[in-house]
Amino acid sequence: MYNIIPGQVKEKATLSRMVTSNRLPHALLILGNAGYGGLSMAITLANHMICLNPLPESPCGECKACVKSTKLIHPDIHFSFPVIKKGTKKREDTTSKDFLIDWRAAIKEMPTMTYSDWATYIDAENKQLNINTKECNEIIQKLSLKSFESEFKVLILWMPEYLGKESNRLLKLIEEPPPNTKVIMIAEDQERILPTILSRCQLIRLNPVSDEVLKSHLLSTGVADNEALKSILNLSMGNYGTALKLINHNEQDFSTLLLDWLRMSYMVDKDPAKLIQWITSLSTQAKDLQKSFFRYGLHFFREYLIGMLSEGYKMKLSDAEIQVATKMKAIITYDKIEYIINELDSLVTLLDRNANMKVALLSSSITINELMKGKKQPELIA
Ligand SMILES: [Zn+2]
């Protein structure tokens, strides 16, 4: 069951070995882009721990505990994740428990979901999700009770980045959990986790999946044919989540693609082949997908520009996107954004006119590179 997600072979072996040799640490932190499948691996790991007839490398998948675990309803596997206020409840009274039904459905639908996917799923795209004080108190209380059906109690805490200073409340629990209690955290951004939490966790770092592994996995699940796969693999760059989105034409979340493009444009002097391969793949995608991608870029940069220029403006971007924007601040100053917006605008026009998109994208990438590197002064471009 670890194999729902492709790749991460070494990491999966480490996790299953920890279970079978009974050497699981109190607290484990699985770190990596959501598209690498950390959440899914954490769920399988918890399932493996509570399985009644565990196999050396995976849970049996058939026992009573496995059935409940697969449905995410096992009473000894607890979930905590960032949320917003629910209905008429006050935010400080709302916890993950109020969103459990959505949570189960979202994971089933999107095993590699990102923070933005989750926010969209609960209609909270432009809201700040977090894990609040009440949630932390409930975690501590829940884990202090005896387990119900299995030897272990497991807490799966998704995105501890959104705990903020609340994480201090959990320090004692993580350092010295009650007997037979394990905490598994899944995070994307190490820098946003308190060092006091980090130092108490054993780290499992996930990596991009090789094209070969990704390809055979996608083919075996019958998701796409060989020809379409080639360009999807190039665009995904080892991210299973991105591959699934491209296959399903899920145009909601292009932030990873946009960021990859900007990064490769920035590095074009060092690795032009990589950028060209990526551009070739994008230009062979369906027109509506390309257009959605450029429109996403326009939306992103427009919001970012207004946000920079007008104090107090609430950007219509997800928290994760704002993080990305903040990281870019140093190299993409507001005077340059306008020119990037122009590039994206002209890409949309060129696409409508059936222009050669490979050439157009390459030219835009070079302009973006020069803007970021400061070789091209914005006032000279117009
Ligand atoms: Zn089982």
Q: What is the mean pLDDT of the chain?
A: 89
Tell me, yes or no, whether 367 lies in a domain.
yes
Q: Do residue 260 and residue 201 come from a single domain?
A: no
Considering 177, 205, 233, which residue would you say is the last residue of a domain?
205
Q: Do residue 85 and residue 194 come from a single domain?
A: yes
DSSP helix/strand/coil, 311: coil
Residue type at position 84: I
Tell me, yes or no, whether 268 lies in a domain.
yes
d(CA 254, CA 264): 15
Q: CATH number, domain at 145?
A: 3.40.50.300
CA–centroid distance, 65 to ligand 1, in Å, is: 6
Cβ(321)–Cβ(300) below 8 Å: yes
Q: Do residue 192 and residue 268 come from a single domain?
A: no
pLDDT tens string 53-101 = 999 999 999 999 999 999 999 999 999 999 999 999 999 999 999 999 9
Model pLDDT, residue 324: 76
Q: Do residue 64 and residue 167 come from a single domain?
A: yes
Residue-number span of the structural domain to which 74 is assigned: 2-205
Tell me, yes or no, whether 218 lies in a domain.
no
Which stretch, 59-68, 156-165, 337-346, 369-378, has highest mean pLDDT? 59-68
Model pLDDT, residue 373: 85
Asked which of 128-142, 161-175, 216-230, 329-343 is least confident by mean pLDDT, the reply is 216-230
Tell me, yes or no, whether 245 lies in a domain.
no
Q: Do residue 195 and residue 262 come from a single domain?
A: no
CA–centroid distance, 244 to ligand 1, in Å, is: 28
Tell me, yes or no, whether 234 lies in a domain.
no
CA–centroid distance, 317 to ligand 1, in Å, is: 42
Q: Do residue 288 and residue 183 come from a single domain?
A: no
Which stretch, 210-224, 238-252, 334-348, has highest mean pLDDT? 334-348
Q: Do residue 292 and residue 374 come from a single domain?
A: yes
Model pLDDT, residue 381: 46
Q: Do residue 150 and residue 40 come from a single domain?
A: yes
When divided into structural domains, the chain yields a total of 2
Considering 175, 190, 205, which residue would you say is the last residue of a domain?
205
CA–centroid distance, 51 to ligand 1, in Å, is: 4
C-beta neighbour count of 314 within 10 angstroms: 11
Q: Do residue 201 and residue 131 come from a single domain?
A: yes
Tell me, yes or no, whether 273 lies in a domain.
yes
Q: Do residue 174 and residue 310 come from a single domain?
A: no
Whether 252 has a pLDDT exceeding 60, the answer reads no
pLDDT band at 288 (very low <50, low <70, confident <90, very high): confident
Residues having C-beta closer than 5 Å to ion ligand 1: 51, 59-60, 63, 66
Tell me, yes or no, whether 213 lies in a domain.
no
d(CA 260, CA 334): 20
Q: Do residue 187 and residue 332 come from a single domain?
A: no
CA–centroid distance, 75 to ligand 1, in Å, is: 15
Tell me, yes or no, whether 241 lies in a domain.
no
Q: Do residue 8 and residue 110 come from a single domain?
A: yes
Whether 258 has a pLDDT exceeding 60, the answer reads yes
CA–centroid distance, 59 to ligand 1, in Å, is: 5
The percent of residues above 90 in pLDDT, for the chain, comes to 60
C-beta neighbour count of 326 within 10 angstroms: 10
Considering 205, 239, 272, which residue would you say is the last residue of a domain?
205
CA–centroid distance, 55 to ligand 1, in Å, is: 8
Model pLDDT, residue 122: 94
CA–centroid distance, 49 to ligand 1, in Å, is: 9
CA–centroid distance, 13 to ligand 1, in Å, is: 18
Long-range contacts of 127-130 (CB under 8 A, 24+ apart): 127/84, 128/84, 128/319, 129/82, 129/83, 129/84, 129/162, 129/319, 130/82, 130/83, 130/162, 130/163, 130/164, 130/166
CA–centroid distance, 146 to ligand 1, in Å, is: 21
d(CA 178, CA 144): 6
Residue type at position 357: M
